[in-house]
Amino acid sequence: MLEKEKARLTTMFETVLDLSKIDHSKSVVILTNSDCPADILKAAVNAVSSRGASLHIVKLNEQNIPSEIVWSSELNLKTIDANNEDLAQKILGEVDLVFEALNSSYMQVNNLFTYH
């Protein structure tokens, strides 16, 4: 992905955060899987981090079951649990916003870059 597209992607995530009124007092989950391009995940992490919001990343396996849960504090990513569906559901239920950065989501964002 070109640098200009990476910056635009981060800006798009930041726009969603602005519209959702996400700031340092809020929390966000990025829901992802192994097919999610690193650029998409990085843009989402950068956008959330720029707001100072609490951040979790829930990675799903091929069966859409949580395979890894990561917590971020000022970009120090730390795995806090793996294969814990109950914890993942609790986190998803308590956050203020969920970014879905699954491969299918990337395809829609990629089309935005391509056609608009």
Reported pTM: 0.75
pLDDT in tens, 29-54: 998 888 888 888 899 999 999 999 98
Alpha-carbon distance of 42 to 38, in angstroms, equals 6
Domain boundaries, the chain: 3-110
Segments in the chain below pLDDT 70: 1, 72-83, 104-116
Give the pLDDT of residue 68: 79
Q: Are strands 54-60 and 27-33 parallel, antiparallel or unpaired?
A: parallel
Let me know how long the chain is: 116
CB 26 within 8 A of CB 97: yes
